[in-house]
């Protein structure tokens, strides 16, 4: 029987990797859906102007629709813009639209430009009538101001790693940026999770990538890997996570297992990860 622990305090996780197409959005969407299906209350924040996570969860995000852009600009609160995912009543989505692409420049001169999202999230969690178990943020493929805002708003980073030849390239730069944010803005931030995505069990390369990541980050990388499946890639065009679209398929099962592994990461494990970081 599956036991599914709920965290005592809201866990805040940003899904980031400056490389595009590695499975960030797919992971944010499906881990959020799996957690909500297991009974956790989840807020997914779409921080990518492409709005792919909003699309995949059936949230309206045409230009002009109330979105995370209005939140960052201080016109609206998260409570004003969030929408409930049609498939999971415990999953709320803060959508992003193309309007967000202007935000980085518009707030660039503000003294508090790095913590606009953090402030909005903290205020929302404090004032919300519901207790949220998870806040999960889908980041755009960059290391710009939107991603820095996400890094300042959370305590955990989830890094999806695509099982391909150049998998670990760029990881150093990402970890350096996370280190700078820790040092200057958010000492509580840690890399808690890595997840190998688009795994092809027929290839040696996929297994080698998983082994390599395990060797460098043994306590951080999940045992679960996400296979490359057609259903995972089809689901967004039906405005659904694969958890709702094909609940019995390998894609959904793998994301449910990954979500379970994440949920079982107790504060002790997270502290251990933190200690490791400080040694280096
Ligand atoms: P990112 O957000 O990092 O840019 P996405 O999650 O959007 O990456 O994934 C990039 C593309 O790969 C999308 O078209 C997505 O549907 C597809 N994709 C992601 N993960 C899988 C998978 N496990 N199997 C098949 N297709 C996948
Ligand atoms: Mg994306």
What's the pTM? 0.96
CA distance 200 to 260: 21
Residue 272 — very low, low, confident or very high, per pLDDT cuts 50/70/90? confident
Q: Which residue, judged by its Cα, is nearest atom 26 of ligand 1?
A: 233
Condensed to tens digits (0 to 9), the pLDDT of residues 113-163 reads: 999 999 999 999 999 999 999 999 999 999 999 999 999 999 999 999 999
Residue 261 token pair:
């592994």
CB atoms within 10 A of CB 160: 24
Q: Which residues are found with C-beta within 5 Å of the ion, ligand 2?
A: 24-25, 52
Q: What crossing angle do the helices spanning 145-153 and 116-127 adopt, rounded to 10°?
A: 40
Angstrom distance (rounded) from CA 230 to CA 185: 40
Domains for the chain: give ranges and CATH numbers: 11-275 (3.40.50.300)
Question: Which ligand places an atom closest to the C-alpha of 249?
Answer: 1
Residue with the bigger pLDDT between 53 and 279: it is 53
Asked whether the beta carbons of 174 and 182 are under 8 A apart, the reply is no
- Cα dihedral 215, 166, 51, 105 in deg (nearest 10): 100
- Chain centroid to CA 261: 15
What confidence score (pLDDT) does residue 276 get? Answer: 59
Percent of the chain at pLDDT exceeding 70 = 98
| Cβ atoms 192, 7 nearer than 8 A | no
Name the pLDDT band for 227 (thresholds 50, 70, 90). Answer: very high
ipTM above 0.85, yes or no: yes
Mutate to test the pocket of ligand 1, among 14, 23, 28, 203 (most ligand atoms within 8 A of CB): 23
List the structure tokens of 46.
Answer: 């779409």
d(CA 192, CA 200) in angstroms, rounded, equals: 24
Q: Which residues pair with 14 in a beta bridge?
A: 137, 157
């Amino acid at each position: 029987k599956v036991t599914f622990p709920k965290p005592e305090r809201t866990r805040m996780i940003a899904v980031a990797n400056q490389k595009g197409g590695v499975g960030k959005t797919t992971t944010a969407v499906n881990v959020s859906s799996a957690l909500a299906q297991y009974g956790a209350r989840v807020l997914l924040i779409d921080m990518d102007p492409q709005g792919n996570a909003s699309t995949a969860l059936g949230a309206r995000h045409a230009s002009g629709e109330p979105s995370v852009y209005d939140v960052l600009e201080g016109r609206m609160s998260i409570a004003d813009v969030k929408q409930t995912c049609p498939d999971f009543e415990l999953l709320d989505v803060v959508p992003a639209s193309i309007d967000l692409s202007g935000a980085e420049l518009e707030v660039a001169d503000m003294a508090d430009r790095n913590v606009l999202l953090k402030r909005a999230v903290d205020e929302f969690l404090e004032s919300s009538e519901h207790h949220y178990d998870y806040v999960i943020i889908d980041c755009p493929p960059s290391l710009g101001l939107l991603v820095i805002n996400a890094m300042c708003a959370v305590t955990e980073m989830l890094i999806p790693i695509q099982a391909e030849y150049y998998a670990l390239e760029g990881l150093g730069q990402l970890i350096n940026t996370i280190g700078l944010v820790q040092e200057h803005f958010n000492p509580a931030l840690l890399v808690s999770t890595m997840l190998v995505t688009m795994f092809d069990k027929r290839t040696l390369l996929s297994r080698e990538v998983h082994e390599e990541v395990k060797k460098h980050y043994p306590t951080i990388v999940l045992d679960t890997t996400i296979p490359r499946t057609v259903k995972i890639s089809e689901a967004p065009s039906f405005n659904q996570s694969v958890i709702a679209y094909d609940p019995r398929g390998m894609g959904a099962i793998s994301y449910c297992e990954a979500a379970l592994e994440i949920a079982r990461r107790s504060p002790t494990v997270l502290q251990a990860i933190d200690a490791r970081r400080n040694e280096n």
